[in-house]
C-alpha cells in the first residue's frame, strides 16, 4: 500500500483545503477535526488504518448529532447507524 499512500499524499497535498464549516469526523481515530492540515494528514493515514466506524458514529451522537443523511444508492450506512443507536 505504500505506493498508493504516497500517490494519495501527493494528490491531497496538491489540493487546496479550507476550514470546514462543521467538524469533519475521520475514521483514523473517530475524532472531529477542523484544521485543514490535520484533515489532510488524516486522509492519508486512513488509507492504511482500520476503519473505526462504530466509534465514529458513537462520537458524533455524543457530540449531539441526531440526523444522518446517506447519499447515493442503497442504505447500508443508514442500517449500520440504526444498529449502533440501539
pLDDT computed for residue 1 by the predictor: 82
Chunk the chain into consecutive blocks of 10 residues (it has 86) and report each block's average pLDDT, rounded to whole numbers. Answer: 91 97 96 98 95 97 96 93 94
pLDDT value at residue 81: 96
**pLDDT reported for residue 86:** 86
pLDDT for 84 equals 97
Cα–Cα distance measured from residue 16 to residue 42, given in angstroms and rounded to the nearest whole number: 15
Sequence-separated (6 or more) residues with CB below 8 Å from residue 54:
84
Secondary structure in 3-state letters for 14-40: CCCCCCCCCCEEECCCCEEECCHHHHH
The pTM assigned to this predicted structure is 0.87
Q: Which domain holds residue 69?
A: 2-85
Q: Is the separation of the CB atoms in 12 and 42 below 8 Å?
A: no
Q: How many domains does the chain have?
A: 1
Question: What's the CATH number where 23 sits?
Answer: 3.40.366.10
Amino acid at each position: 500500500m505504500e505506493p498508493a499512500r504516497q500517490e494519495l499524499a501527493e494528490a491531497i497535498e496538491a489540493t487546496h483545503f479550507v476550514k470546514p464549516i462543521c467538524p469533519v469526523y475521520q475514521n483514523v481515530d473517530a475524532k472531529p477535526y477542523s484544521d485543514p492540515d490535520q484533515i489532510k494528514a488524516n486522509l492519508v493515514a486512513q488509507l492504511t488504518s482500520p476503519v473505526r466506524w462504530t466509534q465514529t458514529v458513537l462520537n458524533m451522537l455524543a457530540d449531539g448529532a441526531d440526523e444522518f443523511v446517506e447519499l447515493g444508492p442503497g442504505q447500508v450506512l443508514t442500517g449500520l447507524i440504526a444498529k449502533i443507536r440501539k
